[in-house]
Each structure stands twice: as structure tokens, then as C-alpha cells.
Amino acid sequence: MSPGPRQDLLGMFSAGLRAVDGYTVVREALLGAPLSDAPVAVFAIGKAAAAMAEGAHSVLGAQIADGLVITKPGHCRDTLGWPCLETGHPQPNELSLAAGERVCEQLQSLSADTQLLFLISGGASALVEVLADGIDLPQWVRVNEWLLGSGLAIDQVNAVRIALSRIKGGGLLNWVGQRPVTQLLISDVPGDRPEVIGSGLLLPWPAHTGVPAALPAWLEALLRRSSAPTVADPRPVTTRLVATNAHARVAAAAQAERLGYPVWRHDSPLSGDAAQCGQKLVAALRAGDIGVHVWGGETTVRLPERPGRGGRNQHLALAAALELDGVARAWLLACGTDGSDGNTDDAGALVDGDSVARMRQVDCDPVAALAAADAGSALAHSGDLIHTGPTGTNVMDLCIGLRQA
């Protein structure tokens, strides 16, 4: 017998996470398409780096001549004995710059017969950097602060980052030489474009392509002043997507079917303003068929000058809770698959028709919280936050709705 709707929804989310686990997808990819017998240097960069590195080690073992993991704070694992650098995320810092130099130096020190395996996941854009000439760390931090609160789509955000970097947009190829290169990618971007994931360390991106037209004057001046190098002789890179949001959606839907629910999978990616998206999902849930509805994608939030606690999933969930207020037998889960959301260590939230009432019972104003980008505080009052810890993956967000008769 099912333990109840809330536990069922959490189980669906967990099933989605298992399907895109970094260890599993890298292991399966390397078993399915083995590398050559030459020595391998492994560079794992991103939120899922530690899990992906473990997956590679489980297959390659003693064939690995060198290994380096670069990830966000709290995500290192002490299982391989490789150097593991925890650098800045979501805001880059001096450790991000040191990690960028470390990668370049390590590449230059490898023997010519070493093949390269890069394991890239979301978060890499902030975690590792070598800045373009004319850009310093305070300027870079200011750029990222603006980008994170701008409400721009991730491809536009990364286009700006690429224009200010020596290693993004394929720039890292300048340190690769003629060594064979394979990269396995976990996609955290809409459309799963490899050149956008992690700002495309190994895939050339024409300078300033995709940069938004309307930018602050100070940022436009910075872009004009920067001189990101081109890749003189880019070598072919074997690129494989090993996990995407679609994989997680399929697995979540399959779990719902196992539990006996009618399931409706929506393949159009979620995007745009998080609050508006939450409102639309509730409208679709109430107007749609009885059962489970599964969505995925990545929304945005335009932040006030002093945002409160939360991220895009909590923002979406709070907006959804306001729409669900008083509605019986309806629930909506909105979570980041990396286990974090905005400036919090919560993955997101699971709201229902009583969430707003629970907030107001403790004198929390959910409307004011939404306006202040403080959704996390309101959802903490209602007991709706979801905490998973680091998940070993990052394929954007899952939203799972349930409506019962």
C-alpha cells in the first residue's frame, strides 16, 4: 500500500535522481564505449564531479595515470585519494582561479601519450576559471553577481562568461596539445547543447556570440576591454551526453506508474520567470487529467537588491502554494536535481493546498516573502522544504504534480 501522496512524490523525485547519478552514468558510458588502452588523465569538474570520478575509476582503475576533482564546497569524497579542490560556487572566488591554473599546469605536465578524459557537470562555469587579459577577480565577481540576479537564460549567462575567459568557449584546448580527448557531460542546460554546459571548456564558441544586447554600461565596457584568445588549432573532441533532464523525467514517471498512478509527462521544458511558471503549473494541474504530471527545465528569478533565503525552485513552489491555497488533494514538488537551490542547501519544496495556511498560522506572510525573494523562509515555516544533500548529479530541475479525485 502506498505510504501517502507526499512520500510517493518524494519517491518519484528520488527515482529521477537515481537515473542520472554521476557514478552510474559514467560507469555505463565507459563500459559501453571503452577508451583505448593508453594511460588516462581524468579531470572531473562540476557539482557532480566526485560521483563522476568514482564512476570512471570503477572502470579504468590502474589505467588512470592522473586525476583531479574540482567541485563545490561540501561535495568532495575521500574515496579515490585524488586531489579534490572545493572552489567558489555559485559565486567564483580566488580558489576558482587557482583551480583554473592547476588544470592548465597539469595538462602541460602530462606525457604526450596520455589520453584525456573530462567529466563535466553543471557548476563548472564558476568552479574553474582563467580570466581573459584585462579582467581581474573583483570585476569577475561583480559580473557573476549581476548575472545570477539578472533573470537571463543560462545560455546568455554563459555567453557573457565565455567572452571574459581564457579557458571557456573551447579555450582550454590551447593547453591540450595533440592528446586524444573524450568528454562525458551531464547536462544542466535547456536544449542540452554541449557547448553551453560548463561554458564549453573544450568546444569552441565564437567570441561574443549569444551575448545579450541589453547589458549594463559597465559590463558592456568590460566586454569591449577583454581579449579572450581564440583556439588556433582545435583538435576533435569526442563528446557524449551521459545524463539529461529527460532521463530523470522518464524515471520519475516510471516510478509513478509503478505506484499505480496515471502519468502525464510534459516534454516542453520549463523556462522563464519562476513565479509565473509556478502559477501556470498549478493551473495546468487543476485543469488537467487526474494523476501525476511530470515537468522539467530551469526557470529564472530576477532578484531584488537584498534577496532573502531561497532559489528558483522554492520561489516557484511558493507561487504555486498561493495558487493551491485551499485546494484539496493536490500537491506540487519543485526541486533542483543537484540538491541545492539558490543560496540554500535545500533542493526545493513540496507544497499543497494547506501550505499557505500553515505559514499564516505562524504569522508568515507568503505574498511578502515571494516579493522579497524569501521563499525559503516561508516554506520553512510551512514544513515544506526538501533536503537531500549533494546528489551526485545536476540535470536542472524536476517539477512533479499530483491531483487526486
CA distance 96 to 124: 10
User: In this predicted model, which residue has the larger pLDDT, 127 or 153?
Assistant: 127
Note the pLDDT of residue 60. Answer: 98
- Average pLDDT of 29-35? 98
- pLDDT band (50, 70, 90) for residue 42: very high
pLDDT tens-digit map of 46-78: 999 999 999 999 999 999 999 999 999 999 998
Mean pLDDT of the region 251-256: 99
pLDDT at 282: 99
Q: Cell numbers at residue 340, please?
A: 541545492
**Which domains are present in the chain?**
5-16+245-403 (3.40.1480.10), 21-243 (3.40.50.10180)
**CA distances, 308 to each of 150, 369, 377, 385 (Å):** 16, 8, 8, 15
- pLDDT at residue 170 tops 50: yes
Cα distances from 253 to residues 14, 256, 380, in angstroms, run 11, 5, 27
Q: Name the percent of the chain lying above pLDDT 70.
A: 98
**Which tens digit of pLDDT belongs to each residue from 193-225?**
999 999 999 998 766 678 888 899 999 999 998
Give the model confidence (pLDDT) of 102-149 as tens digits.
999 999 999 999 999 999 999 999 999 999 998 999 999 999 999 988
Using the structure block, give the residue that is written with the C-alpha cell 493551473: 283
| pLDDT the model gives residue 1 | 38
pTM score, two decimals? 0.95
Q: What is the pLDDT of residue 231?
A: 80
Residue 2 pLDDT grade (very low, low, confident, very high; cuts 50, 70, 90): low
Query: Counting beta carbons within 10 angstroms of the beta carbon of residue 99, is it exposed (0 to 12), middle (13 to 18) or buried (19 or more)?
Result: buried
